[in-house]
Chains A and B, each alone.
Chain A
């Protein structure tokens, strides 16, 4: 029981930091190594570690399965939506200059932020959904056989 206690305490301390780090990586993707994929994976890792240590029911109270499934599609929608907005503005698909026509540079910046956000949301959704699917089945091996 003792090692479970250490895991629980450390996980409670770490989960907040991990989510904060994921947000940092997401939004600083254009200044330092990072971007949508890495941030999505790290954010999913925070939820997965909470699920592993505290059980699937608790983590599904915080982040229900239907929210995860909606997030999956939302990310792709954001990404493709940015491209379609460019079409409405009269530019080519995924040409970000439509967002601020006077300063094409700033438009690129906003476009990259939006696109990376879409990617991060989808990747988080997929990783957490896959974990829920794998952990939702009754396990074949008991705890002692490991």
Chain B
């Protein structure tokens, strides 16, 4: 493999790698940060970079946006970029905003119930609640385990 094709290979793929870096940043936010609102924002970043990766597979070099001229006189020489990923991603964006809205509504309710939106404090509170309920259950059934 001579160096020109390796260079072509790298140039052709570096944009995918950039999108993967963005994806991993989003994933890191979801996994590592404790604040719930930050997690939702990180999820949004992750989703958007997945969309970018998907759409970049549909681009054709030298192509144009997939819209015919208004009078429908289509020039057969013009190359259009692939419209199928656009359709899928359009659906995905709307579904993404729907889940974001639902997630944020859940966060508001969690704040009202637990008085906090940090994941570590919520885990502590939930464990305390589970312990209390276990004790009540054991006392009520007379220690039958």
Contacts and interface: CB of A to CB of B under 8 A. Distances in A.
B91 to A, nearest CB: 9
* Majority SS at the chain A contact face: helix
Nearest to B90: A37
Interface residues of B, number: 10
Contacts, number: 16
A61 interface: no
Contact of B94 (A37, A130, A137): A37
Given A37-B90, A123-B94, A130-B101, A32 B67 contact: yes
Contacts of B94: 37, 123
Interface string A105-145: 00000000000000000010010001001100100000000
Interface size class of A (residues with CB under 8 A): 10 to 19
B70 A31 contact: yes
A33 B66 CA distance: 10
Interface of A: 31-33, 37, 123, 126, 130, 133-134, 137
Q: What 4 pairs across the A-B complex have the smallest Cβ distances?
A: A130-B101, A37-B94, A31-B70, A37-B90
